[in-house]
Amino acid sequence: MSMRRRRHSSLISLLLALTLLLSVSAAAFGEEAAPKAQIELKGEAELNWVCGEPWHEPGFTAADAEGKSRTADVTVEGEVIPWRPGDYELRYVLAEGDEVLAEAARLVHVEAQILPETVQPPKGTICLTFDDGPCAYTEEALEVLGRYGVKATFFIVANQTKYLHLLPKILEQGHTLGIHCYDHRSYEWLYKNERNYFTDLMTAQEIVYQYTGQYAHVVRFPGGSRTASFLAATFPGGYEEMYRVMRDAGVRVYDWNVQPESSTKTTEGTFIDFSNPKEPYEYAVVLQHDARLFSVKALESMIEWALGEGYTFAALDETYPEVHFE
C-alpha cells in the first residue's frame, strides 16, 4: 500500500474514532441534561407539629419529564397521628406501574404539649358548665350570665352548624369554650377505639379554630368518663394512659360533681336540687345543658342563691384540677 493510501486510511480511522467519541460524549451529556419527573414539597422537609392540633398536609406539586402536572397522581405513604407524640415519615411517590418516576420524603416531629400546673381554687368556687350547645337557648344563657357577671364553661357539639356563629361571642364574654364532641349520635362508634374518638375530637378542634382562631383545652366526654370506659379499655394502661394521651394533646378532662337537672327535669326542680347540697360546695363543677330550656330558666335563681350564700363563680380552664368520676 502506498504511503498516501496509508495516510488516508489512518485519517479515516481517526475521524471515525473522533466521531464515535463525540457521539458517546453527546449521548452522555444529553442523558445527564434531560429533564426528569420531580416532586416539590411545600413547606419544610422536616418540621415540628404541636400534638393535639389537627394535621394539615403542607402540600406538594409534581410534574413529569415534559413539565406536565402530575400532582394528582402522587401517592402519599405513611401518616401523621396528631394526637400521639412521635416521629412520622411521609413518602411521596410518583409512579407508572412498577416504575418510580420521582419521590420525596418529609419528617414530622409531633411534640407533646405541656399543660400548666393545676391550682386548687378557693373553697366555695362554683363552675357552671353547659353541654350540648350551641343551640337555640345558648344566647338566653349568655344573657343571664352576662347580667350577673358570671363566667361559665360551654362544652360544645361542633356539628351544630346553625349556631356556631355563637362561638366567638362565648369567648368575647369571658367564658371558656370546651369540646364535648363533633357528633353526639353514637357512643358505640365514638368509643370503639382511639382513632374514632380522636378523629372526632380533631374535627371539633378544627371547627373551633375556624370560628375563634384558637383551640380548646378543656374537654368533657359525652356521657362522662364512665361512658368512656369503653374507650379507656382500648388503652393498655386504661384510664391513666387515656388521660395522659389527652394531656399530651393539650386538653384536660372534666366530669361533674353536681347534677341539678337529674331529679324532676323542671326549672323548679333544678333550682331546688342545686340550692340544697348535702354539704357546702367546695369545688363544684355543675352539669347543665343549654339545650334544655328548663335548665336555662333556672339559671338566674341559681346564681342569685349562690351569690347570696357567699359562693363565687369561675370558668374552667386548664389550670383547674380535673374532675373524674370515681
Q: SS in 3 state form for 219-255?
A: ECCCCHHHHCHHHHCCCCCHHHHHHHHHHHCCCEEEC
Measured at the CA of 294, the angle between CA 290 and CA 300, to 5 degrees, comes to: 80
Stretch 133-148: mean pLDDT: 98
38-111: which CATH architecture? Sandwich (2.60)
Instruction: Give the pLDDT score at 264.
Output: 75
Task: Read off the pLDDT band of 184 (50, 70, 90).
Answer: confident
Q: What residues contact residue 247 under an 8 Å CB cut-off, 6+ apart? A: 113, 115
Task: Read off the pLDDT band of 227 (50, 70, 90).
Answer: very high
Helix (H) or strand (E) holding 92: strand 86-96
Task: Read off the pLDDT band of 12 (50, 70, 90).
Answer: very low
Q: Which residue has the cell 360546695?
A: 281
The whole-model pTM stands at 0.87
Residue 182 has pLDDT above 60, yes or no: yes
Residues of each domain in the chain carrying CATH 2.60.40.10 = 38-111
**How far, in Å, CA of 157 to CA of 174, rounded?**
19
Task: Read off the pLDDT band of 6 (50, 70, 90).
Answer: very low
Residue 24 has pLDDT above 80, yes or no: no
Enter the CATH code of domain 125-313. 3.20.20.370
Stretch 108-116: mean pLDDT: 98
Across-strand partners of 178? 155
Task: Read off the pLDDT band of 206 (50, 70, 90).
Answer: very high
Residues of each domain in the chain carrying CATH 3.20.20.370 = 125-313
Instruction: Give the pLDDT score at 238.
Output: 97
